[in-house]
Amino acid sequence: MKKFKSIALVCVFFLMTITSFAQNKVTVAAAANVQFVLAELTKDFESATGIKTEIILNSSGKLTAQIKEGAPYDIFVSADMKYPEELYKSGFATDAPKVYANGLLVLWTTRTGIKPDDALNALTSDEVKKIAIANPETAPYGTASVEAMNYYKVYDKVKNKLVYGESISQTNQYIISGSADIGFTAKSIVLSNEMQGKGTWMDVNRKAYNSIKQGAVILKHGKEANYDASKKFYDYLYSDKAKNILKKYGYVID
């Protein structure tokens, strides 16, 4: 009997240890545009709370599909409001999403001899053979890129030059490696320590594309399996400290 009691106590202790570990870690599914700012945010969050963070990066559309398929993510930090709103309406998120920041679009090249301009005329140049954008079907920054090209009436002239990244991360790789001569990306990327000084970039006129309102939600998995840590990270994302860090990376806070 004592042996069975000992085994039971070990099992209870093991389960408590697992539960304690889970509560001290939050898994964040995040749009690729926040890659670098999120690294700073999570470092600050972990230092303040002792809660570890695991970051899963991809396009907002791809992450939404993974969440619907049962991916065990606690928080979704999107590049728009459409995808988190879709998850909320489908029962995969606890509450309606809130905007945590507004993203900005830039035109960026690492090729010498190519100069981004505010009317996107560089895209029509013979020197530009390939233009990188994130997939507009799954990445909000890709959608904004198409809107900007249509605004300046260059889309039909350059659509055969477009190469699509599955996310902003892949798009950035095309630009950095020179696989694309020029491309559209998030301002937060070019302002990061990792990318500062690489190539030349210019802000795209904000009138040329719809506002990139970026929203976040606590997911159903986060509420059911890891609510305390999830809520703390979610609240932190909207804190003054987080807002100041987001501003440093070029995000606009309403």
Cβ atoms of 26 and 233 within 8 Å: the answer is yes
Half-sphere exposure of 178 (CA within 13 A, CB side): 6
| Domains of the chain with bracketed CATH | 2-102+212-248 (3.40.190.10), 103-208 (3.40.190.10)
| Paired strand residues for 99 | 215
SS3 193: coil
Residue-level pLDDT at 181: 97
Nearest 10 degrees: Cα torsion 73, 215, 150, 208: -150
- 56-78 pLDDT, tens digit per residue, is 999 999 999 999 999 999 999 99
- 64-116 pLDDT, tens digit per residue, is 999 999 999 999 999 999 999 999 999 999 999 999 999 999 999 999 989 99
Q: Is the pLDDT assigned to residue 141 strictly greater than 50? A: yes
pTM of the model: 0.88
Sign of CA dihedral 121, 214, 142, 210: negative
What secondary structure does DSSP assign to 39-103, as a single string?
Answer: HHHHHHHHHHH--EEEEEEE-HHHHHHHHHTT---SEEE-SSSHHHHHHHHTTSBSS--EEEEEE
Q: How many Å apart are CA 78 and CA 188, to the nearest integer?
A: 14
What secondary structure does DSSP assign to 115-129, as a single string?
Answer: ---TT-GGGGSTT--
